[in-house]
Structure 1
Amino acid sequence: MARALPTINKKFEGAVQKTEQEKKIAELQAEVEQLRAASAPQLEVEIEKLRTQIQQSSGEVEIDVNLIEPNPNQPRQTITGASIQNKARLLKKHGQITSVILVPHQGNRYMLLDGQLRWEAARVLGWKTIRAVIVPQPQDLEQSSLLTFLGFEDLNPLEKAEAIVKEIVKTTDFEEEEIATTLATVLKRIERDGKTKELAKLIDVSSEEQEQGLTDLNVLDAEQDMFLMLLELGLNPVSVRTNLIPMLSLPQDLKDAIRSDGLKGAHALALSTLTAKALKVEEKIAFTERARATDEVLKKNLTVPETRERIRQIKAKYFQEDKTESKEVKGVMQKINTITK
């Protein structure tokens, strides 16, 4: 039986429900006033505790930025200086619109579940505190982090692919190297049966309906575990196979460009076709061509169609050279044949 994953809306259920807390807040505020009316200095400590309770009951609280730590297992591993500066400019201009989400960590410290970019930007701006919502420590922090980022953050496709594969390995019996092959095999079987649309419809139904739907599509046992995990994360397995899994096989230079320079996934996939085999050259030459093309894509902000056209031009250059060389060789051979006759 496949293990159901928690949905993201249940993760934070009750975290920010101000209207439901109004009565409790009023009672706490009344208690504070009663303590102050007693004019007892020794009660100041208790008053401060109650003030903290009021803040937390209202859903949001100001937290010292120095008491916050990043989550080492979060899916987002790439936060560039440029993205931090951009977020800092937005925070300075508009203020903090969305609270970060924290979980209790060690002592009086907290760990980020969502909002690292906002936290980094706040530190750049020299903010002493940042507005936050404190939620209980999830049973599975890594899975909660993945759910949070898939729901709220725009992960680059490489990091999303890495996080999803990590989650599949952790929650199923599959090894990392088996995932791409199994996913492709099952999807090919579903496509052959003409039921791809039926698979897509399972994203928006209940866990029970997802399980029954996969069974009807003849996706069973370990295969079903993998597909259930993807569906419950709100991911279409077809899209995962087409747009995400190929990210893991990209050349290292393109992975670096995604992480450091913001190269888009579709551009990276197009550029990955500039291989030594495709150009019929040494790997060093192919790497140089790919690096030049990547730099051009980034500097000129080329669209995907423009990128593909540029790649076609590069390939055509090598094919033309190869064709010219073949003509020259053919001409020499003809001369040799003439002499030897």
Structure 2
Amino acid sequence: MGKIPSISQRFTGAIQATDQAQRITELQTEVEKLRSSQSPVLEQQIETLRSQLQEQSGEKDIEVSKIQANPHQPRQTITNESIQIIARSLEKDGQITPLIVIPQDDNYLLLDGQRRWEAAKILGWETLRSVIAIMPNDLHRKALLTFIHHEDLNPLDKAEAIFKEVADATSMGTEEILTVLGTVLKRLERQKQTSQLTSLVTVSTEEQISGLQSLGVNEVEEKLLLVLLGLALNPTSVKANLLPMLSLPNDLKQSIRERGLKGAHALALSILSAKTLETSEKIASKERIKATEQVLSQDFNVAKTRELIAQIKSKYIKSEHSPSREITAIQRSVEKLSKENIANIDPQQLTDLRTLFQQKLAEIESILEITNG
């Protein structure tokens, strides 16, 4: 990554501009986007910028009861646990970062600070320090840019927020978005040009347009890809890791929202479908919910989760292995060992044969135990 220009230089004069409130919103959004790089130097710049905003942005104490949730909030999953953590922090250290709110009649629409607001209500606080911003024309995009690169925004919320932004910007439906994105990425992969697409994430809009044209994408594909690139998202990663979230079964979506199930675990568990298990939806759902409970309660990693899934699949899916001729021949040889034949074998040889059979039987039992779960 190249050297990050000073935030103060990038926004010289913004705080003193006549449309100060709009600038505050833009600056706060830029801060959140840049913070995703986790650069120590950048954090120092952010702290300096925050100090400037606190001194000049006209912060005021606003009644908690007059603040309303943003209906376009990308973070749809806010667990009680996360709110309790914020509440403990507020109670111990006080409010460090102001909210960003937008005036609406006698109330205020919350643009940034949902969990702090929820925590303040738990604590019974009457007011919260806030920065006043004017209503942006593209409220959903502003909120999305603020949250999209937060590490704690789960992939389901992120996928739904991104999909809404893409749908609004392109006027495409779900199936069309999936089809167009899948088609263009498959073609670029076949032409070994996906790395060129990825490189467009960090360049200017003009360079993105020029780069897409050099890749030979059509008008519809360009429109879709520009939306994703404009959100600093890698289209290939979006298709592989985020869009599949939209088609997850409701029980897995609920586990992500309410119990903190990770996206990678949810995608793995989604394999336990009626089609894959060759059974009814009711049985598949029961197995999936049971497996999800085990993954969460025992804190399985992804590898362990896949092992569990393989065990469950083996109970429903017939083995694809064809009978071994070697094993069949051994079975026939053993069957020929009648009691009369065994009686004529040397006792030491019989002892050795018994030991061998016991060892092989133990190995077979171990394999069957893994296979049958």
- The aligned counterpart of 1:61 is 60
Q: Is the 8 Å Cα contact of residues 18 and 57 (structure 1) preserved in structure 2?
A: no
- One of 289, 292, 304 as aligned partner of 2:290: 292
1-structure distance, mates of 2:50, 2:119: 27
Q: How does 1:113-152 map to 2 (within 5 A)?
A: 113-152=111-150
Q: 1:71 maps to which residue?
A: 70
Aligned equivalent of 2:247, options 226, 245, 249 = 249
Q: Which of structures 1 and 2 has the larger relative contact order (alpha carbons within 8 angstroms, sep 6+)?
A: 1
Counterpart residue number, 2:271: 273
Counterparts of 1:136 and 1:242, CA distance in 2: 37
| Deviation per residue, 1:227-246 (Å, 9 max, x gap) | 11100101100010000110
1:319-338 to 2 correspondences below 5 Å = 319=317, 322=318
Flag the 1:175–1:252 CA change in 2: closer, same or farther, 3 A.
same
CA distance in 2: counterparts of 1:221 and 1:100, whole angstroms: 40
Partner-residue secondary structure (3-state), 1:110: strand
User: Do the aligned residues in 2 keep the contact of 1:17 with 1:59 (CA within 8 Å)?
Assistant: no
Regions of 4+ moved over 6 Å: 18-21
Q: How many angstroms apart in 2 are the aligned matches of 1:298 and 1:20?
A: 44
How far 1:145 sits from its partner (Å)? Answer: 1.3
Distance in 2 (alpha carbons) for counterparts of 1:101 and 1:74 = 13
* Cα shift at 1:78: 2.3
Q: Distance in 1 between matches of 2:51 and 2:244?
A: 46
In structure 2, C-alpha distance between the alignment counterparts of 1:128 and 1:77, rounded to whole Å: 25
Supply the distance in 2 between the matched residues of 1:60 and 1:298 (Cα, whole angstroms).
42
On the 8 A contact 2:102/2:132 being kept in 1, the answer is: yes
Q: Supply the distance in 2 between the matched residues of 1:66 and 1:142 (Cα, whole angstroms).
A: 23
Report the equivalent of 1:111. 109
Tell me how far apart the structure 1 counterparts of residues 156 and 225 of structure 2 sit (CA, whole Å): 20
Partner of 2:98: 99
CA displacement at 1:151 relative to structure 2: 4.1
TM-aligned CA deviation for residue 19 of structure 1: 7.5
Q: For the structure 1 residues 273 and 17, does the alpha-carbon distance in structure 2 shift closer, same or farther, using more than 3 Å as the test?
A: closer
Separation of aligned partners in 1, 2:80 and 2:51 = 39
Change (3 A) 1:14 1:79: closer
Query: What is the CA RMSD across the aligned residues, in angstroms?
Result: 2.5
Q: TM-score, normalised by structure 1?
A: 0.76
| Counterpart code for 1:86 | I
TM-score (norm 2): 0.70
CA distance in 1, matches of 2:130, 2:190: 49
> Within 2, Cα distance between the matches of 1:116 and 1:212?
38
Which one-letter code corresponds to 1:278 in the other structure?
T
The within-5 A match list for 1:163-312 is 163-312=161-310
The answer (yes or no) to whether the contact 1:18–1:59 under 8 Å persists in 2 is no
Counterpart AA for 1:280: E
Change in Cα spacing, 1:158 to 1:13, as seen in structure 2 (3 Å) is closer
Structure 2 residue runs of 5 or longer lacking an equivalent are 1-10, 12-22, 29-47, 324-373
Q: 1:105 to 1:310 in 2, by over 3 A?
A: same
- d(CA) in 2 for partners of 1:207 and 1:240? 19
Identical aligned residues as a percent? 54
Which ranges of structure 1 fall in alignment gaps of 5 or more residues? Answer: 1-8, 22-54, 328-341
Contact kept, 8 Å, 2:25 with 2:100, in 1: the verdict is: no
